[in-house]
Each structure stands twice: as C-alpha cells, then as structure tokens.
Structure 1
C-alpha cells in the first residue's frame, strides 16, 4: 500500500502552490458572493423598493443556499471524490451569477424579487458545494509541516476577492444597477475560468489511497516529485455518515463552536459592511467602500507575514488567541455610542478586526474543522459544520438590518462576546485537551485518529 507519509514528508513544491491557488479560487468566489451581496444591496434594494425586512433577504438566501449546498455536496464529495464536485459547482455558480446580473429588466417587482432570490440561492449552493471540498483537497495533499502555510493562501484569496470587488465599487461609485450587473457578471465569468483550470487537477492523493486508485496516485506522485512503492493498494470502504457523529462527535462540536463564534461576526461584516456604516452618515458611500477596503486589506499582511510563516512552527493556538483578543476589542469599540460618531475610532476598529482575523482566527478555524476527520468523512464533516455556520449566519443576517435600526452598538456587544467566549474555550482546550487544538506538524492520520491503516 502507498503510505500517506510519502505525501506528508514531501518537500514543498511549485505544484503544491499551483494546486492550492486553483482550489482557492473557490474562496475568491465565496468572498465575491458575500461582499458582492453587500456592495450591491443598496442598488437592488433601491430598484426593487425593499422594505427593512426585505433588505435582509439576499444575505439570508445566499447563506442558506451555501448551508444546504455544503450539507448535500459534502457527503457526495466523500462518496464520489473531490473532483466530482468540481465538475458541476462552478458551472452552477457561473450561470446563476450571470442570470442574477440581469435582475430588474422585468416590469413586475415581485417577479424580479423571485428571480433574484432563486439565483442568489443557486450561487450560495455552488459556494457551499465548492469551498469545503476545496479545503479538504488542499489539506489532503499538503505536507504536514506546511499545511498551515498552504491553507493560509485560501484566506488570502478570500480577502483579495473582496478587494477586487471594492475596487470595482469605488470605480463605479453611484452607478446603481450598473455596479450590480458588472459585479455579478465578473463573478460568473471567473467561475467558468475556475472550472476550466480545475479540469487538470488530480484527485486528492489520500482519497485515491482510500479507494485504491493506483493510476491517479502515480500521476499525483509524479507531479509532486514523490517516489511511491509499486505495491498493491488496498481499497477501503467509505464510512457511514452516522460514524461522523458517533466517533468524531466531540470534534464536530468543536468545529461547530469555532465556526459559530467566527461565522456570525464575519458574515455580518462581509454582507452588511456598506449597509451598516453608511447608516451612520459620517462619510459618503464611496468612503465607506474605502473603509471596507482598509478593513479587508489589513488582513492580508499578517496572513502573509505572520500566520503563513509561523502557524506550522509556533503553532495555531498562540496566533488564534491573539487574533480573538484583537477581534473582541475591535467590536467592543462599537458599544460606546460616541465612538460611532468618530471616524478615527471606527477606522481603528476596522484595522483591529482586519489585522486580528488575518493573524490567525479564520485560518485556524478552517484547519481545526478539517484535521480531526478521517479521509472517508472529511468532506462530510466539513460540509456539516459549514451548513451550521452559514445557516446560523443566514438567520442572523435576516435580522441584521433590524438590529442596526435599533443601534449598531448591539452588533458590537454580540460579536465582541462571541470572540471573548472563543478565547476562553480555546485557552481551556490548550491547557486540558491539547490534542484538540495542537495539530501542527502532525499527519492527518494522527490528528483524526484515522481508522484507515
């Protein structure tokens, strides 16, 4: 049998980076969906005369679509392979985004709303299918000493996706539905490009080992400059879905908790940043976009210079705790109403959250939600926790405009409390159950206690 240690101990190569970049295009498109929904919300809301409740519908629909897409396609990725998902999800995204772009051309307001919500949902489903699968693939071909480094690229791609859209928003400021259509057409075209690039990707080596796909293994080994023994591979049965909860229930609970603590604050900013801060009437909408660019852009530098180099050396937890502390402070700055009238305090809040999340909380959450599951259930596990995160964030998003109407300080209280709780729980795990959070430089078989030998 081909030993996964061959892949775990491989030297980091250009092929690893190439595959990671292509897989990470899903993160770019996920960011495109979230930020694009927020950036274009005012335009479509004005065109279709949305009520306060209806303002929350695009966020709700996209997030629920992503939730159910992850739940359904996650299991399919374990049954039929990671590449199976790649054959369909980007086509769904591309077609749906372009059809969403033509919203508003019909005379009926109700028909336009229904049309838009259908394609918001399909874009969400495609994202839910793609991103957990992409993370599973990257995790499974990454050498154990560089897994954090390669996964950090996925978060950087996410932030780059937002910055590209914000650049378009600033350039097309005050053009209303022109901006809406350009954003969604751009995302649709990029989805088709992603689909074309991914046709040349190999299957996950670990998935091939599990299924006994010897020919595919030899192909990936050649590309990664690995010598594998020409021995007969043993084929393993895919674990039943119930094993995910029976054998890995505590890891599922940890992944759910980390996603919840991160997902609601991050999704709120991702989809409602322009909506929230334009309601303060301190700066123009164009300046709001510029502030959002500063917020997301500030996450790239620590991601590139700190987490990228240190996560596999000093470990995930120290970076996570520093990140959670900065995020908590950033939101608690919003609970004092006079601060909401001070542009410089708001800018400090954006920078703290941006730098904090880039420092490690988001990438660490991704890693810990992947590393504890066996190969036969990794996509299913990731799909389930993604389902919970996006479902909960979708429900919260529906009521976000109402919360903002009551006072932005309530957003600060909720998000700040989440990050404090995350800090406390991860600290306790680090002290009393370190195997849950200290996963650096370990093989996936070690971190997941994989039953596949």
Structure 2
C-alpha cells in the first residue's frame, strides 16, 4: 500500500520531471527543427550545402559549449536559478528566428539558441534525478527522452502541414519552440531548489563542495573512469542520433527524392515507434534486466544502420533504418547515458560531469555535422559506414566497460545504481 507521503513524493517528482524535462523537448526541437528549417530555407535564402553544414555544426558546437558552462554554473549556483535563466535566453533566440529569418540572423540566432539549450540540459537532468523517489528515478530520467521525442514530433507535425509553405514553415517551427520555452519557464517558476544541492552547499565539512580547485576531482582516479566511459559512449552513439535528427529530412529530400511533407509523414511513424520503445525502457530501467535489454537493443540499432549501407539509400531503406534505430536507440542510446550519468557521480559534481560529457559529445557531433552534407554529396554509403562503426564502438564501451564498472563511488546521495541490479556492476 502506497502511503500518503509516497504519493506526494511521486506527484512532486513527476512535476519536476515534466517541467525540467522540457529541456529535452526544446533541445530536440532545436536540432530537428533546424534540420527541417534549413531545408525549407535553402530555396528562399539560397543556402548552399556548405552553409547548411556550417549552420548545423554551429548549433551543435554551441549546445556543447552551453552544456559545459551550464553544468558548471548549475553546481556552483544551484539548479533553479540556472535553468530559469537558460530557458529565458532560449525563448528570446527562438522568437528572433521566428520573426525574421535571414542568413545573418540564422548564424547569430542558432548560436544563442544552442548555447541556451546546451546550458539547460545538465542542470535539468540533475534536478530531476535529485527530486525523484529512489524507486522511480530511472523511470523519471528516461521520461525526459519521451519529451525529447515529443520535440521531434512537434517539428514533424508542423512540417506535415507547413513543410511546403516556404519561409512560413520555418517561422512556425521556431515560433512553436519559443512558445514551449515560455510554458516551461512558467512551470519551473514554482519548483524549489534541489534539496540535495542545498545540503551539499550547507554542509561545512563536505569535502566534495564545488569550487574551482574541486573540479580536479572529476579527473581523479575515483571519478575519471565514469567520466571517460560515459563521455565516449555518448559521443559515439550520438553521432548517428544527431545525424538522423539534423539530416533525415535532407536525406529524404535530396537523396531519396521525396518532398518535405512526405518525409515528415514517414518520420512520424518512426517517431511513434521510438516513443513505444521508451515506455519499454521505463519499465525495465529500474530492474535487473537492463544489461540484456541493452545488448538486444544495440543489435537492432546496428542492423538498422547496415540496411542503407548494404542496399543503398532510398525511401524504403531510410524508413527501415529509422524503424530499427527507433527501437534500438530507445534503450541502447541517449536514455541509457542519462541514467548512467545520474548514478555514477555525486551531487556536488553531477551537473558539471554531465556538462563535460554533453559538451564532448556535441562537439564530436558538430564535427560530423559540418561535413555531413558534403559526404552525402560524395556518396551516402560512406556516411552510413561511418555511423555503423561509431555506433558499434559505443555499444562495446557500454557492454564491456560501463556495465562491468564496479560501484566504487561513495553512496553519498542515494543515486547509485538500482538495488535490484547485480551488486558488482554500475548498470
């Protein structure tokens, strides 16, 4: 029987998970929305493939830089103050892009948009983990990826109706992101500061309290292994996810030969499968079957990437890749990274650690995004070979390093791996 206090804790946890998790919505919306908007604007603004690559890379670089800065500020000044400020900046940038898109404004607006989105991510993830009941922490953190998918869904729905409407379609995409950011600000306003963060700051004997010198602790033998492992895993697995998010419309339109609205309809079905996979992830993540599910999902994702590599790039192979990738990535992708990032770091360093790993992953993705349109022009098979190798390396890191990593961290805040998992692993 669930007590009244437990019910209240669950309600508050879900409230924080939704309001903070909207960071994932606006992050995904910025990536997928910009990918679609640039395809829409390539005609009216005369964008070249090189400029599309530069703008996509710029957005990803600024998300990386924002995560690095935001994670540090979140540990130093608190979760609440930072995630209200970052989302306010995001709102202004999205509004500017919606009002008057131009090549110059795209470069400035996407830089600010990426900075704000990136800064919000690690702080919001830490807030959710520190507010969730212990037996639902994995589920609530995973729920943020449902909101990430919802951000893509919002872009797809707009693209179905306005993808062929020219500049107006791009303006609506950014306008809806500004509206969601404003709603999130209102929802976050009533959320109190993280109790665990307050305790870590108010404890005068807490040696883990963050200052400039304590950043060195992240590179100590105690914390560097999980920092390196989660950073490498996320960087490698995110290359395929980020490429699909930014360039799926580009591939459908410029390689497979379908229009934006049709590409968006196909993407909608794939997205619904991703959401279904995430609900499966939410059921298993706090239990003992996490490892087996991860291995199975990794195989699915690799099969998906192999299909266009072996059979060529067309609408059918892109859809099949999306189906396998949607189901596999829901478990063996970014959602699992988010779980590991909460479990392997103490409160005083959690946001900073995530900021570093997110920044590293997004910088890697930015480098890939910068040259992706040129690689596609030279031969899309090269792109999918690269995505397959990078993803395979990520899954090997997850299976043979992170899942076998011993729980050597002090359990200072109750965010260690689920108690029902094997006792000698971190996953």
Q: How far off its partner does 1:141 sit?
A: 1.8
Higher mean alpha-carbon deviation, 281-290 vs 390-399, is at 281-290
1:373 match: secondary structure: coil
Gap change, CA 1:206 and 1:431, over 3 Å in 2: closer
Is 1:319 the counterpart of 2:312? The answer is: no
Cα drift, residue 448 of structure 1: 12
- Residue 172 of structure 2 is matched in structure 1 by 182
Matches within 5 A, 1:86-125: 86-104=83-101, 112-125=102-115
Deviates most, 119-128 or 320-329: 320-329
Counterpart CA distance in 2 for 1:407 and 1:297 is: 30
Structure with the bigger percentage of helix: 2
Select which of 441, 445, 451 maps to 2:418: 441
1:291–1:353: structure 2 CA closer, same or farther, 3 Å change rule?
same
Alignment of 1:204-353 (within 5 A): 204-212=194-202, 236=206, 237-238=209-210, 240-246=214-220, 247-304=222-279, 306-336=280-310, 338-341=311-314, 343-353=315-325
Please give the secondary structure, in 2, of the residue aligned with 1:370: helix
What is residue 56 of structure 2 aligned with on the other side?
A: 59
Shift of 1:315: 4.3
Deviations 1:163-218 (A, max 9, x none): 11111110113101100111111111221221111110011121011123xxxxxx
Q: What stretches of structure 2 of length at least 5 have no aligned partner?
A: 1-5, 410-414
Q: CA RMSD in A?
A: 2.5
Write the distance in 2 (CA, Å) between the matches of 1:435 and 1:323: 24
Tell me how far 1:436 sits from its aligned partner: 8.3
- Counterpart of 1:73? 70
SS at match of 1:87: helix
Contact 2:297-2:328 at 8 Å conserved across structures: yes
Q: TM-score when scaled to structure 2? A: 0.90
Q: Partner of 1:15 in structure 2? A: 12
- Give the TM-score, by structure 1 length: 0.85
Paired residue for 2:3?
Answer: none
CA pair 440-315 structure 1, distance change in 2 beyond 3 A: farther
Give how far 1:47 is off: 2.1
Specify the structure having the higher radius of gyration (Cα). Answer: 1
| 1:429 corresponds to | 401
Q: 1:423 deviation in Å?
A: 2.5
Equivalent position of 2:358 in the other structure = 386
- The structural deviation recorded for 1:143 is 2.5
Pairs aligned (count): 409
Distance 1:160 1:262 in 2: 20
Q: CA deviation at 1:150?
A: 0.7
Q: What does residue range 183-202 of structure 1 map to in structure 2 within 5 Å?
A: 183-202=173-192
**1:29-71 CA deviation, whole Å, 9 max, x = no partner?**
0111011101111122222212221111221111111111111
Shift of 1:430: 6.3
Aligned-residue offset at 1:144:
2.6
- Separation in structure 2 between the aligned mates of residue 205 and residue 448 of structure 1, nearest angstrom: 28
Q: Aligned in 2, Cα 1:208/1:448: closer, same or farther, shift over 3 Å? A: farther
Alpha carbons 2:230, 2:402 under 8 Å: kept: no
SS of residue in 2 equivalent to 1:88:
helix
Residues 432 and 194 of structure 1, relative CA distance in 2, 3 Å threshold: closer
**5+ residue gaps in structure 1?**
1-8, 105-111, 213-232
Q: 2:133 aligns with which of 138, 143, 146?
A: 143
Give CA-to-partner distance per residue, 1:99-118, whole Å, 9 cap, x none: 112334xxxxxxx3222211
Change (3 A) 1:261 1:348: same
